[in-house]
Each structure stands twice: as C-alpha cells, then as structure tokens.
Structure 1
Amino acid sequence: MKLRALILGVCSASAFAFAAHAEAITIATVNNGDMIRMQKLADDFTKKNPDIQLNWVTLEENVLRERVTTDIATKGGQYDIVTIGNYEVPIWAKQDWLLALDKLGPDYDVDDLLPAIRGGLTVDGKLYAAPFYGESAMIMYRTDLFEKAGLKMPEKPSWDFIGDAARKITDRAAGINGICLRGKAGWGENMALLTAMDNSFGGRWFDEKWQPQFDQPEWKKTMDFYVKLMKDAGPEGASSNGFNENLTLFQQGKCGMWIDATVAASFVSDPKNSKVADKVGYAIFPDENTDNHGNWLWSWNLAIPASSQKADAAEKFIAWATSKEYTELVASKQGWAAAPPGTRTSLYKNPEYLKAAPFAEPTLAAMTAADITKPSVKPVPYTGGQFVAIPEFQGLGTTVGQLFSAALAGQSSVDDALAAAQAASVREMTRAGYIK
C-alpha cells in the first residue's frame, strides 16, 4: 500500500508539474451562441494539446470591440487570440497589429474557404485571420402567422410589403410583435442593420468626395420608415435590443418577423431552444426598388495580435477551431444544423448538412448576393456592406448609432437625430482629412 501511495504521489506531482508548465493562451471572444459552443467543445483541443491551457474572456459584442481595440492599439498583450470582424482585419493588418497565419497546417485546406470570406481576411496575399463563421442578413418569419393573416412572402420582398405584413401580424394581446429589429446603439449593432437598410433604400454614408449624406432623402426615408414601423409593430424597449435580445424574443414566439444575421437561423430552428422551430421561413433581405439587398457580409474571425508572445500555440488553436474537423465535431455532438455556417465551400456541398439545415440554401444565396465592393447603388469612395471600411467608422458609427437609438426610444425626433449625425460626421471627416 505504501509503494502504491508513493507511485500515485509521484504521478500526481508529475502531472501537477506538467500542468504548471503548460503554456496558457488567453482568448477574447463574443458571447454569441456559436462561440459559447466552441468553449464547451474545447476539451477536444486540450486533450490533443495537453501542453496548452485555454483561458477565456467572453464579452458582450460592444464591450469586446472596445477592449480588444484598446489592447491591440496600445500593444497591451492581454490577449493571444482575438475575435474580430472582417471590418477590422484588413485595417489592423495594414497597421501591423496582427500576425499572418502561415502555420495552419497541411490539412487545413485554405482553398476550401468561401472566396468572398477569404478575400476579406487577406492582405498582400497573406491570411491574417481565420473565419469561425460567416453571415449575410435575411428575413426570418413565422409561417403560421403569415398563413393566418393570408400573407405570402414574395421571392424578393419590398420594404413596403414588410411594413404592411408586420402590422397585420402584430397581436399585442397575444404578446406577438410583428417585427423585431436591432435598436441597441453600436456600429456593429443598430448601425449594421440601418446601414444595410439605407443601402437597400438607395442611400449611402458618403458621396464621392466623402461628404456625409444624412441630410439626403434616402436616410430620411430609412429612418422615418424604421422608427414608425418599430412603434407600430416592434417590441417594447426596442432601443435596448441587439442580436442576442432579438434572438431570444424570436425563439420565445414573440416576433412575427426578424431581419438579421443569417447565422441566427440555426438557433431559431433548433427545437431544443426555440418554441417556433417548425414554423420558420426564410427570405432575402428587403429592398425598395433598388435591387440592393443590403449587401451585408460579415464574418467573426480568430486572429493573433502582434503583441502575443505565444503565437505558435495560438495558431494551433485557431487551426483547430476553424477546421473542417471542428465542423464535424459539432455535427457529431449537436447535429449538422448546428455547424458553424458561411465559411467553407465544402459545407454547402455536404448532403447531410443540406438535409438537416433548411436555411442552408437561403444563407448561401444571401451571402452570394452581397457585393461589398459596391455597397450602394450610387457611387461611393469606400467598400463595405453594413459598415464603411475606414478606421474612423468604429467611433463615428457608434456615435451615429447612439443618436439613432435615442430617436427610436423617443428621446429625440428623426430630423434632429439626422441633423446631429450629419454634423458629427462632417466634423469627424474634416478632422481626419477626408474633407479638404
């Protein structure tokens, strides 16, 4: 017994010593469902890489952006992996804030990444982030409520149709709001929706000379339509609702329609978490006689800050989390419908995924329809869909988002919000040197 105890003690001490020498990497990520799932499945990675320990920092979207931007701009070195969008990647790579991913391994299959997604993460021929999931935006709607109201969703719905339908299916007594749309302030929250919406109305953020366009008819029409629609058919407190809040409302059966990121489809159609899973239809993002369906194209990606001292371990984790093997792991644990969407061509050729995910083809169609090189029907000096791909947009977009969220909450008029947005934009673009 003494010998056995001695052996066990030696083994325990060795294990403790090994754990103490394991390289710890810190991962900053957003509190979206797919990322929460990744954390739960990360034991698969640590079992294969016992010399690497994972520390997670999981934050709400706006907070994540603020903290990661501050850390990476100051070379703080707090994070070894950051979760960022295709807005940040090319801007930060050009400022040497990110490390190129050139050690993903021979089995990673970079060529399988969807061209539009890969292109947005590539600078000078090098990949600076790996996509965890990709998305466009589309309409998710309750087929039972449409049938009850005698409505049929058109193949290419207009905003006028969406407004009329939302009002018809609203039933306040039953707790059903005709439509849920983002209202929470933030360049990647309400301004993602409203920028895409304005694009679909034929508007733009800036003209060819970088003059802000909030004093033009398209933004006026967009904001009047949005605020009135949400007053007539939206939920209470809509100015505080972002992606996650609206997802919960839809899953609970409290939204007749929801226009948002395509990635939400796997969650609204999940019978374990959604009360309306068997009653969801999908349609392309609306337009207003412009044939511009929002041009929303986004990916959440994993990247390594240049300040990280543990780049090799970080790249190993990124290769695992964004691989085809990870997709298969998710499928084996939670079914193919839960697989991270919008990043790999092979997923949309997989018959098991196509069979399990009724939203697969609408998602791919929405992503294919997006053209971020031409966000507006009018000429513009920038790229981007639901964002403007310039460094100043992060701060300016949030400022404008706060003004528009206040208008939705009734704290200001639409006209006052637009005037303030115009003034703030002119001031910032002049300060930054865009306006001469």
Structure 2
Amino acid sequence: MNKSFKVVAVSLIALSVAAGCSGTNGTGPQEGAGNAGGDTPYKGQQISVLLEGHPTSNSIQKMLPEFEEQTGIKVNLEIIPYSDLTSKALMNFSSRSGRYDVIMDDMVHGIGYVNADYVEPLDEYMNNEALKSYFDAQDFVPKYLEVMKVEGQTYGLPVYGESNFLMYRKDLFEKYNIPVPKTYDELMHAAKTIHEQTNGEIAGMTLRGEQGIQNVYVWSTFLWGFGGQWLNEQGQSDIASPEAVKALEFYRDLLTQYGPTGVANFGWQENRLLFQQGKAAMTIDATVNGAFNEDPDESSIVGNVGYAPVPTQTDSPKGGASTLTVHGIYLSKDSKNKEAAWLFMSWATSKEQQVKSMSIDPNAGVTSLSAMKEEVFVEKFGAFKDAMLQAIEEGNMNYLPQIAQANEMINNTGVAISKALTGHTPAEEALKEANELNNRLLEAK
C-alpha cells in the first residue's frame, strides 16, 4: 500500500486505542443494563426488530439470548432480504402502527425516514448516562457515525459499513500476464483476455444486474468513475449526461460480452457466489465480500484473490468512484418501548458484540474501531484489510443521491440499467426516460 494509506491505517488504529480508554468502552452492561441498582426494570417488555439478511444480522440473532438474559427484554427478531426491506419498513412507518420498534436500513433510505418524521433522533438517548451501559460514541468509525446525522442530529447507529473494491483472481492474472486494471479500458481488456483464454469457461467479469438497488449500487461506481454524478449544481437529476451514458454503455458491453449467463438477474448473493466458486476472474462489489472469499468453508479461491481500488476512467472523479455505504438501525417514532429499543440498538452495535460477530459469521463490516484492532480481525481479514480500509477512507458519501426522493430515483435508474442490459432499450434512451421521471419527482417536492 502507498505511504498515504499507511498513515490512514495507523490513524484508525490510534483512534481505536483512544476509544478503548474512554467511558464504558462498549463492553456490556455495568450494574444491570444501565440501572444502578443492578435490577432489570425492562423485564417483561417486548420489542420487535426488522433486520436485513446480512452476516451482521445473522450474528445478532445468534447472540440475542445474551441480551435477553442481561436485560429481561424479549426481542422478536425478523430478518428479510435487503430487496424487500425498505418497502416493508415504509408500510410499517406509514401505518403508524408501531409494529416494529427498530428497523435496519442504509442511510440513503434513512434520510427519507427522517424527512417523513418516521424515526426518532437518538441524541437524548446517547447523552443519557443511565442508558450508556453498552454505548460508546468514541468507538465508532467517525465517518460511519457522521453519515447517520441529519442537520446535526443523529438518527441511527451504524451497524455495518462498507465500501467497494476490485477483486481479481491473482492466479489467472499471473498466468495470462495481465496487469491489475487502473482504468476501465484496462478492465475491459482484462475481462476480454480471460474470456478468450478460457474459451468462455470463466467469465471475465461478474457484477450485479438485478433491477433496483442491486444494479444501481454497483453501477454508481461506474457513473462516478466516468465523471458523472446524480445531481447537477441546480439540484436536478443528471443521469442523462454524456458521462452517465458512457458508464451505462460500458457496463452493458462488459457484462454482455464477457459476463456470466443470467447476470441481468444477479443480486449480491448470486454475484458473490459465482466469484467464490471460481467461475469469474473479476468482480467489483462490497468490501465485506472479502470475508467470504477468504473463508475456506465458503470459498474455493482462498488465497488466490487480489484486492485493488476500483478503476476510474477520469483522472479525478467528481466525488470519488469508491462507494461509502453505512447501514444503521433506527428507532421508530411510534415505538411504545423506546428505552428498551435503544438498549437493544446500543447492545447490537457495541464493541463486545461486534468482536464476537466476526467469529460467528464472516462479518468484515464492523463499525467499531476497537473491533478493527482485535487479533481476530487481522487474522480473518488480513488478506484484504488494507485495501478495505483504504476504500472506506476514500469512499464517496454521495455515491447515491442523499435526498428524500432517493428511493424512487434509484428505482427509476434501476429500470434503465435493466433495459440496457437486456438489450430492450439503448442506454441513452433508457437513461433519458429515467432522468425525466427523476426530475418530475424533484419538481413535485
């Protein structure tokens, strides 16, 4: 890694040491879950929690009996696919039923929840000494916690974070003497070479193609990397720009010429599994995927994967081509048991639980600085740790539109990407349609 990144890595470790010397250190309940008398005044209370399907959620579910025993709070936990999460959350919020006390989602959607007054600001709970048994603000990666703020108030606790990077098969690159791509032209050449040299048995590149947030999440890297952006200086949708069209044409050509069969239907899991099975030479996806690549129980390519920054086609993308994704857990305004819900939220994101989570599931997306310096983190994720931390440090917080209409804009753009991938509509025409729909949304606000 370059010298500047070593400074970043050292800074993260230094911050984690400082976090370990402050407050309660997120190490679990002191005197009975935030109660000086050592009793459990929340015993008998029930909360309902909606989480997305993710290693973080899986580990929370497995550790949940500890929290219930410590606090006396009964947690009804539901885990559903990410693609179904936001629509279900919105149904709950809009009904004002309080069906779920705590909901997990990414901050792109979280901004919409804040603007609609669906979720509770957390500052009051964060500053309440009686409720700090698990919580330590200094232990979060600062950039992750900052993303959770709207107009100076904190609306979520970061439960996992990630960026994205290029993952490539070192063995194939060495065999065919391919340099690690730094530009999209080099990326296309590498994909073409692998595809031709293996007679199409190994895809040159695999990416997400499934319509919606799945394809938009990855395509956004290409949008910024070609010099495009979501919104122009006037606050209007800008995805019909020449740069955006180039990004979609490239995405389409790369996958239709050198991608796997059925890629237009690939979400995160399908894309991850194909690469782990050795059926593709490259992918660009979430940094948490590195944990699966290096897990011998999950992967057939352990030790053969290289990790590098995502390529760009311009010298200086406007916002940076690396994503910065933070998923938080939010407290419903209509919750009937807000303090109990807060205790769950702070427990689920505490240092102790995050350290445990890394051994329970391949969870590299921890948001705790202290967890990042643990030996288990280095042992399990050492193969890609430096590349992951660099991607996070350089991550573009605006990789998706950070506005209330983001969900609808993402859906419109996802349709355009799908139309181009399937050959239904030329990229320029598809993006023009989406851009017009997006601007109607923005005009109606």
Bin for the TM-score computed over the shorter chain: 0.7 to 0.9
Alignment partner, residue 287 of structure 1: 312
Deviations 1:321-357 (A, max 9, x none): 11110022234546xxx34425222233345422431
Does 2:65 correspond to 1:36? no
Work out which of the residue numbers 146, 161, 168 in structure 2 matches 1:141. Answer: 168
Does 2:91 correspond to 1:70? yes
Alpha-carbon distance between aligned partners in 2 of 1:193 and 1:174, rounded to the nearest angstrom: 23
Alignment partner, residue 88 of structure 1: 109
Alpha-carbon distance between aligned partners in 1 of 2:201 and 2:49, rounded to the nearest angstrom: 39
Work out which of the residue numbers 361, 365, 375 in structure 2 matches 1:341. Answer: 365
Deviations 1:146-199 (A, max 9, x none): 111111315xx111111111111126657421111111111x321122223111
Alpha-carbon distance between aligned partners in 2 of 1:96 and 1:426, rounded to the nearest angstrom: 24
Alpha-carbon distance between aligned partners in 2 of 1:406 and 1:388, rounded to the nearest angstrom: 21
Quote the RMSD (CA, aligned, Å). Answer: 2.2
Q: Offset of 1:230 from its aligned partner?
A: 0.3
Q: Offset of 1:229 from its aligned partner?
A: 0.5
Alpha-carbon distance between aligned partners in 1 of 2:268 and 2:223, rounded to the nearest angstrom: 19
Alpha-carbon distance between aligned partners in 2 of 1:289 and 1:23, rounded to the nearest angstrom: 55
Alignment partner, residue 425 of structure 2: 412
Unpaired runs of 5+ in structure 2? 1-42
Alpha-carbon distance between aligned partners in 2 of 1:108 and 1:262, rounded to the nearest angstrom: 26
SS of equivalent to 1:189: helix
Q: Offset of 1:91 from its aligned partner?
A: 4.2
Alignment partner, residue 53 of structure 1: 74
Alpha-carbon distance between aligned partners in 2 of 1:332 and 1:239, rounded to the nearest angstrom: 33
Alpha-carbon distance between aligned partners in 2 of 1:125 and 1:206, rounded to the nearest angstrom: 23
Work out which of the residue numbers 327, 334, 338 in structure 2 matches 1:311. Answer: 338
Quick one: percent identity of the two aligned structures? Answer: 28
Alignment partner, residue 289 of structure 2: 264
1:86–1:120 CA contact under 8 A, matched in 2 = yes
Alignment partner, residue 232 of structure 1: 257
Deviations 1:71-101 (A, max 9, x none): 2233231211101112233443354321233
Alignment partner, residue 100 of structure 1: 121
Does 2:203 correspond to 1:177? yes
Deviations 1:203-237 (A, max 9, x none): 11232123333332101211111101001111111
Alpha-carbon distance between aligned partners in 1 of 2:80 and 2:235, rounded to the nearest angstrom: 34
Unpaired runs of 5+ in structure 1? 1-20, 373-383
Name the amino acid aligned to 2:372: Y
Name the amino acid aligned to 2:367: T
State how many pairs are aligned. 394
Alpha-carbon distance between aligned partners in 1 of 2:219 and 2:359, rounded to the nearest angstrom: 37
Alpha-carbon distance between aligned partners in 2 of 1:88 and 1:38, rounded to the nearest angstrom: 22
1:407–1:414 CA contact under 8 A, matched in 2 = yes
Max radius of gyration: which structure? 1
Q: Offset of 1:261 from its aligned partner?
A: 1.1
Alignment partner, residue 132 of structure 1: 159
Alignment partner, residue 186 of structure 2: 161
Per the normalisation by structure 1, the TM-score is 0.84
Kindly tell me: are residues 417 and 95 of structure 1, through their superposed partners in 2, closer, same or farther at Cα, counting changes over 3 Å? closer
Name the amino acid aligned to 2:63: L
Q: Offset of 1:106 from its aligned partner?
A: 4.6
Alpha-carbon distance between aligned partners in 1 of 2:258 and 2:327, rounded to the nearest angstrom: 31
2:52–2:79 CA contact under 8 A, matched in 1 = yes
Does 2:351 correspond to 1:324? yes
Per the normalisation by structure 2, the TM-score is 0.83
Does 2:150 correspond to 1:123? yes
Residues 416-435 of structure 1: pairs in structure 2 closer than 5 A: 416-432=429-445
1:32–1:244 CA contact under 8 A, matched in 2 = no
SS of equivalent to 1:25: strand
